[in-house]
Amino acid sequence: MTARTPDSSMSWPTTRVIVTGGAGFLGRAVVDRLRSRGAAEVVVPRSRDYDLRDGAAIRRLLAGTAHVRDGRTEPVDVIIHLAARVGGIGANRAHPAEFFYDNLMMGAQLMHEAWRAGVSKFVAIGTVCAYPKFAPVPFDEDALWDGYPEETNAPYGLAKKMLLVQAEAYRAQYGFNAIYLLPVNLYGPGDNFDPASSHVIPALIRKCIDAVESGQDEIVVWGDGTPTREFLYVDDAAEGIVLATERLNDSRPVNLGSSREISIRELAERIAAACGFTGRLVWDTSQPNGQPRRKLQTHRAREAFGFESRVDFAAGLERTIAWYRAQRAAGLV
């Protein structure tokens, strides 16, 4: 089936959208952006109702959200696919098969069923983990296939990269308007602070605040502190995704980043200071560093759909810590 031909821009008051993962960290920010733009209907399927690894569940979701327009039954106009099994280095090392299978099955089947149903546009969200371990810095989208990803999260990164292959193949054969975005590491209020599965910023914030409250004089940090990372505030990421949904109609991969690089050592020191922790940072070099450097080339997003990050890292970090303290004080985390 060939999808309806999309316009180059969205008329949100008449556009109906499914956001998978819309109840999650990034998803909530994207849903808020869509509603603020006046999207006619934003559907957020929950995993308890629709297991997106199951093709039958996906077909049920699409059938249940179709409606009659001009006497014809039509699907939603756009799917933004944010649902994913995610986690930090520890979670990826402990569950590599699940990270591969769950992400691959969700993405491949959802895109296929969206095409079959006639959805106008599919927005696939990839990951910076898809880049080769030793890609030249800053990571340019054209370097995506120049090597194997960093081993600790390669199953996850490769599963998500298959969405790019699928998007390009479905556009070439079917004319399906699928786009593919590569966000860098995200942070911000509403992040996952569970020590078993959190990423580096929430993990460090929790460790530091735990240490302050319990009177500990040291905290342990994985690796040796030399790797670098780039971080994008969650609201900036959401704005980039919505801008791409509105303006991008090209299956070439596009990075979403802030273009600011920081070492893990400096990051840990800044978080410790911001949280009021004055003890020692002990670097556990028996644990993996992960990818040596991560910094994205971001000119394609600026040129293709006018995206640039807005939130200063220090300000974003301050808001994230304040949010976590408030949630903790209320007994919510």
Predicted confidence (pLDDT) per residue in 254-310, tens digit? 999 998 999 999 999 999 999 999 999 999 999 989 889 999 999 999 999 999 999
Evaluate whether residue 208 is within a structural domain: no
- Residue % of the chain over a pLDDT of 90: 88
Catalytic residues: 156
Evaluate whether residue 201 is within a structural domain: no
Evaluate whether residue 268 is within a structural domain: no
For residue range 55-76, what is the model confidence (pLDDT) as tens digits? 999 999 999 999 887 888 899 9
For residue range 199-235, what is the model confidence (pLDDT) as tens digits? 899 999 999 999 999 999 999 999 999 999 999 999 9
> Which residues fall within 8 angstroms of residue 45, CB to CB, at 6 or more apart?
18, 20, 22, 52, 61
Say what the pLDDT of residue 9 is: 67
Please, what is the Cα angle at 179 between 92 and 152, to 5 degrees? 15
Evaluate whether residue 206 is within a structural domain: no
Say what the pLDDT of residue 3 is: 40
- pLDDT bucket at 2, cuts 50 / 70 / 90: very low
Phi, psi of 228 (to 5 degrees): -115, 155
If one counts the domains in the chain, the total is 1
Evaluate whether residue 322 is within a structural domain: no
- 189 has a pLDDT exceeding 50: yes
Evaluate whether residue 203 is within a structural domain: no
Beta-strand pair 72-74/218-222: unpaired
Evaluate whether residue 37 is within a structural domain: yes
Say what the pLDDT of residue 146 is: 97
DSSP 98: H
Give the Å distances, CA to CA, from 20 to 63, 145, 163, 216.
Answer: 15, 27, 15, 40
Q: What is the span of the domain harbouring residue 302? A: 12-188+230-261+293-311
Scan for tokens 């934003």, then name that residue.
Answer: 42
244: domain CATH number is: 3.40.50.720
Q: What's the mean pLDDT when you consider all of the chain?
A: 94
**Phi-psi domain of 50 (left: phi exceeds 0; alpha: psi -120 through 50; beta: other):** beta
- pLDDT bucket at 6, cuts 50 / 70 / 90: very low
Say what the pLDDT of residue 89 is: 84
- 38 has a pLDDT exceeding 70: yes
Evaluate whether residue 4 is within a structural domain: no
Output the six-digit token pair for 130.
Answer: 């898809």
